[in-house]
Amino acid sequence: MPLDGQTFFVAGAGISGLTLALSLAQRGASVVVLERAAAVSEFGAGLQVSPNARKILNRLGLGAALTARSLDPKGLDVFAGGSRPLVTMEMGVIMRERFGAPYAVMHRADLADVLYKACRRHARIDLVFGVRSWDVVSHARGVTVSIDETDGQSRTSRGDAFIGADGVHSKTRTAVLGGDAARYGNRIAWRTLVPADSILSQIRPDSVSVLLGPNYHLVCYPLPHRRQVNLALFSEHRQPDAAGTQPVLPKEARRGAATEVLLAAAGDSWTPWPLYTVSTPRWHDGNIALVGDAAHAMVPFQAQGAAMGIEDAAVLAAALEGAADTESAFSQYELARRERVARVANTSLTNGRIFHMRWPLTLARDLAITLGGSRGHLSRLAWIYGYEVPDYTSAPAHEDRSR
């Protein structure tokens, strides 16, 4: 189905929504992005962009802009209390050679800004910020969308489809598609950025460091473009409303010297971020569908939530271009995505359990990590990093896959 002349509404100008807008516009569609906030959001902190997502962003023409604002880490050091890493997993050049694109670490706001500027340059993308409310109705010929803007203006427009990229607490999922509310996952991410010179004696300036402890782990990586280091500490909490300004770690946590220095550098600058997950039976109905966290928010212990939203966007745009009508495109999209996303979410949950193990289970864990070696992750995670977006223009191969 050629997308020229078609109009898509996208709710949410996050990573998934902006990637989708670019992917659709690149194929000739007109896109209206409805964002509740007054501007592209600066929220969040560090984000790892793995090759599967980077390849898609590169194809949208964003490679150079991303390189300018990210670090291509040489490796990932895993510490488990000691001052020397259990293992250093190789990244850098080998990622590009094996998976066709670099691994990048960057600030989420920088990625959002790169996407936003690319959308702004695109004549077929209309970005509407400060949307107070919207309603959508799906019908035989597409969708009707009513929009209330901040300045009190209201308008009603017709389009071909509406896609909710409105995040973990998505209105599209819950109010429009009647889907499930997000579930709190008993964990809080504590996030902060500290000046690079305060801690670079503790971690390698060209690498990601992961420090494992009982019931918590800490992920750090430099953001050289900002002269800062991103810290994200994940700890377990029964309630999402964590009190205080600092993570409280279990008493028996034998923190290594590096952890102490990192915690001291962060002081009480942490922002708590309760982790929610989403599992919902319906990803689409009529001419309305979901992408990204709205469909499948997951815990971030494989650093793949945004990457899955980026993949969703690329697959959905390709499916819409290749299918005879919107509903069959949405069905193909869900068929292509559901199993993969569930597998990634499970891997992420399992990582969380492994990262937070207590002694004596840590003995076996640490041995397994060490034996995995510096390249074990490349084959273990090839199914994630080596992903290719299906080509729906050669339709029969995909339509017949289940036979």
Ligand X SMILES: Cc1cc2nc3c(=O)[nH]c(=O)nc-3n(C[C@H](O)[C@H](O)[C@H](O)COP(=O)(O)OP(=O)(O)OC[C@H]3O[C@@H](n4cnc5c(N)ncnc54)[C@H](O)[C@@H]3O)c2cc1C
Binding site for ligand X (CB under 6 A): 11-17, 34-37, 41, 44, 47-48, 131, 165-168, 171, 189, 191, 232, 273, 275, 292-293, 300, 303-307, 309
Give, as one character, the DSSP assignment of residue 75.
E
Question: What gap in Å lies between CA 179 and CA 59, rounded to an integer?
Answer: 33
CB 108 to ligand X: min, Å: 6
Residue 143 or 366: the one with the smaller Cβ distance to ligand X is 143
Residue 199 or 345: the one with the smaller Cβ distance to ligand X is 345
CB 71 to ligand X: min, Å: 13
Residue 170 or 362: the one with the smaller Cβ distance to ligand X is 170
Question: What gap in Å lies between CA 118 and CA 110, rounded to an integer?
Answer: 12
Residue 242 or 306: the one with the smaller Cβ distance to ligand X is 306
CB 321 to ligand X: min, Å: 21
Residue nearest to ligand X (CB): 14
Residue 168 or 369: the one with the smaller Cβ distance to ligand X is 168
CB 116 to ligand X: min, Å: 10
Task: Name the phi and psi angles at 351, rounded to 5.
Answer: -55, -45
Question: What gap in Å lies between CA 187 and CA 273, rounded to an integer?
Answer: 9
Contact 256, 196 (CB under 8 A): no
- DSSP secondary structure string for all residues of 239-279: SSS--SSSPPPPTT----HHHHHHHHHHTT--EEEEEEE--
- Number of neighbours of residue 227 by Cβ within 10 angstroms: 11
CB 171 to ligand X: min, Å: 4
Question: What gap in Å lies between CA 77 and CA 235, rounded to an integer?
Answer: 20
* Identity of the amino acid at 321: E
Give, as one character, the DSSP assignment of residue 52.
H
Question: What gap in Å lies between CA 261 and CA 209, rounded to an integer?
Answer: 14
Per DSSP, the three-state class of 26 is helix
CB 361 to ligand X: min, Å: 24
Question: What gap in Å lies between CA 169 and CA 16, rounded to an integer?
Answer: 14
Helices 305-322 & 15-26 angle (0-180, nearest 10): 30
CB 371 to ligand X: min, Å: 26
- Tokens representing 363 are 């003995």
Question: What gap in Å lies between CA 147 and CA 130, rounded to an integer?
Answer: 11
Residue 48 or 202: the one with the smaller Cβ distance to ligand X is 48
CB 105 to ligand X: min, Å: 8
CA distance to 183, 234, 268, 354, 355, per residue, from 272 (Å): 17, 9, 11, 22, 19
List residues bridging with 10 in a β-sheet: 33, 163
Residue 76 or 303: the one with the smaller Cβ distance to ligand X is 303
Residue 210 or 307: the one with the smaller Cβ distance to ligand X is 307
CB 301 to ligand X: min, Å: 9
- Tokens representing 269 are 């600058």
Q: Are strands 161-164 and 288-290 parallel, antiparallel or unpaired?
A: parallel
Peptide bond into 360 cis (omega under 30): yes
Residue 19 or 326: the one with the smaller Cβ distance to ligand X is 19
CB 320 to ligand X: min, Å: 18
Residue 12 or 286: the one with the smaller Cβ distance to ligand X is 12
